[in-house]
Amino acid sequence: MINGADTAWILTSTALVLFMTLPGLALFYAGLVRATNILSVLMQCVAIAALLSILWLIAGYSLAFAEGTPWIGGLGKMMLMGVARDQVFDGTGLPETVFFMFQMTFAIITPALIVGAFVERIRFSAVLLFSALWLLLVYAPVTHWVWGGGWLGAMGVKDFAGGIVVHVTAGVAAIVLAVMVGARTGFPSQVQPPHAPWMVMVGASMLWVGWFGFNAGSALSAGADAGMAMLVTHVSAATATLVWIVIEWLRFGRPSLVGAVTGTIAGLATITPASGFVGPIGGLACGLAGGVICYLAVDLVRNRMRIDDSLDVMAVHGVGGATGTLLTALLMSASLGGVGHGEASSVGSQFLVQLTGVAVTAIYCAVVSVVIVMIVKATTGLRVALDQEREGLDLASHGETGYNQ
């Protein structure tokens, strides 16, 4: 039966999660690039949101959530055929239309996150083709595995709001793209600093607020689970923000705004898989661990591995999501204020299940992403010409400029 309160909250959450991408993530990313690439980043986010919404309706939703095999959903719900206006989504008090829309906003933000890997050098057509194929070949099946009745969910993997489904997949795809597209010309010593740190803060703040819908909405109900999910989400975000401030203060003598809000996002990504299973202590622990580990990961990927994952998608989202997924095994313990393990599982056994979920998803995502990038390279090509990269993608790809006198 349709529950009005639950439906009202998920309608609200759907709006919040779309707001995370448009304009939250778009601004977060746009502030980090050169002034001559701001529009290209905004445009990539807008175009991904529009294109993937339609693909979600045509086939994505069905492949993720229609009845099928343990590996992939069926085609029974393409175009939402046969889904009645008042049909309730199984196991919830929600109309299926609302569940469809809520999940669609996740399908939008995940490929939009990957944009951070290839900004300032990618062809626009390559963004569209990659995102479309990736939605159908990576995002939809992995979502089915974890949330759509597939084999990882059956195995007992705990991923409340998308540590694996959203953040691990986006992070791994980002590394694949960063390597295969290649670094920005001049990386690492000659690339330019973020053109508008204030814009990064505005975007990150929108993500912080939107994340309440992302995590507390993933309860799929308006009640105790949503309440605690929102609480731990906020605690983790605040903790990780402080962690980055402290680290930068100690290391460089001056804490930066860009660093502080990057910590916020690291804390939010880390709590995502745990948010429905842990208590306040778990929120603090996710913020602490996610803050520290993601900070080290940024240094590792950029400065030691020399991979130009330009806006640190892997280090912040991938590593944060994986860290939170693994920590869930411990932090869900009843003694730490979590929901507790069932009789059949323990911290150790749950940890192995979580590790399997992260590892298998990462490997599958990496392999299929490589294939997709090869297809894109052979059709649209990946990079713009060198002089277009120097000129900036705003003018070269879109024929407009972000800042006119």
CB of 81 to other proteins, least distance (A): 46
CB of 340 to other proteins, least distance (A): 37
Check binding of 399 to other proteins (CB under 8 A).
no
Contacts 24+ apart (CB under 8 A), 127-133: 127/44, 127/47, 127/48, 128/47, 128/48, 128/51, 129/375, 129/376, 129/379, 129/380, 130/177, 130/372, 130/373, 130/376, 131/48, 131/51, 131/52, 132/51, 132/52, 132/55, 133/372, 133/375, 133/376
What is the size of the binding site for other proteins (CB under 8 A)? 20
**Which residue has 């006198």 as its token pair?**
405
In whole angstroms, what is the distance from residue 202 CA to residue 221 CA?
29
Check binding of 405 to other proteins (CB under 8 A).
no
Check binding of 31 to other proteins (CB under 8 A).
no
CB of 116 to other proteins, least distance (A): 12
Between 47 and 191, whose beta carbon lies closer to other proteins? 191
CB of 262 to other proteins, least distance (A): 6
Between 67 and 299, whose beta carbon lies closer to other proteins? 299
Check binding of 193 to other proteins (CB under 8 A).
yes
Q: Is residue 275 a contact partner of residue 218, using CB atoms and an 8 Å limit?
A: yes
Check binding of 112 to other proteins (CB under 8 A).
no
Please give the angle made by the CA atoms of 299, 304 and 307, to the nearest 5 degrees: 90
Check binding of 256 to other proteins (CB under 8 A).
yes
Between 157 and 292, whose beta carbon lies closer to other proteins? 292
Check binding of 6 to other proteins (CB under 8 A).
no
Please state the φ and ψ torsions of residue 383, each to the nearest 5 degrees. Answer: -105, 155
Check binding of 97 to other proteins (CB under 8 A).
no
Nearest to 282 by CA among 219, 347, 344, 222: 347
**Which residue has 């911290």 as its token pair?**
347
CB of 265 to other proteins, least distance (A): 11
What's the chain's length in residues? Answer: 405
How distant, in Å, are the alpha carbons of 88, 117, 336, 362 from that of 175?
39, 7, 34, 11
Check binding of 258 to other proteins (CB under 8 A).
yes
Q: Where are the alpha helices (DSSP H) in 217-318?
A: 224-252, 257-271, 280-298
Between 167 and 302, whose beta carbon lies closer to other proteins? 302
Near other proteins by CB under 8 A: residue from 259, 283, 291, 321: 259
Check binding of 342 to other proteins (CB under 8 A).
no
CB of 405 to other proteins, least distance (A): 12
Check binding of 186 to other proteins (CB under 8 A).
no
CB of 270 to other proteins, least distance (A): 17
Question: Is the alpha carbon torsion for 128, 134, 137, 139 positive or negative?
Answer: negative
CB of 402 to other proteins, least distance (A): 19
Residues that bind other proteins (CB under 8 A): 188-189, 191-194, 197, 248, 251-252, 256, 258-259, 262, 295, 298-299, 302-303, 312
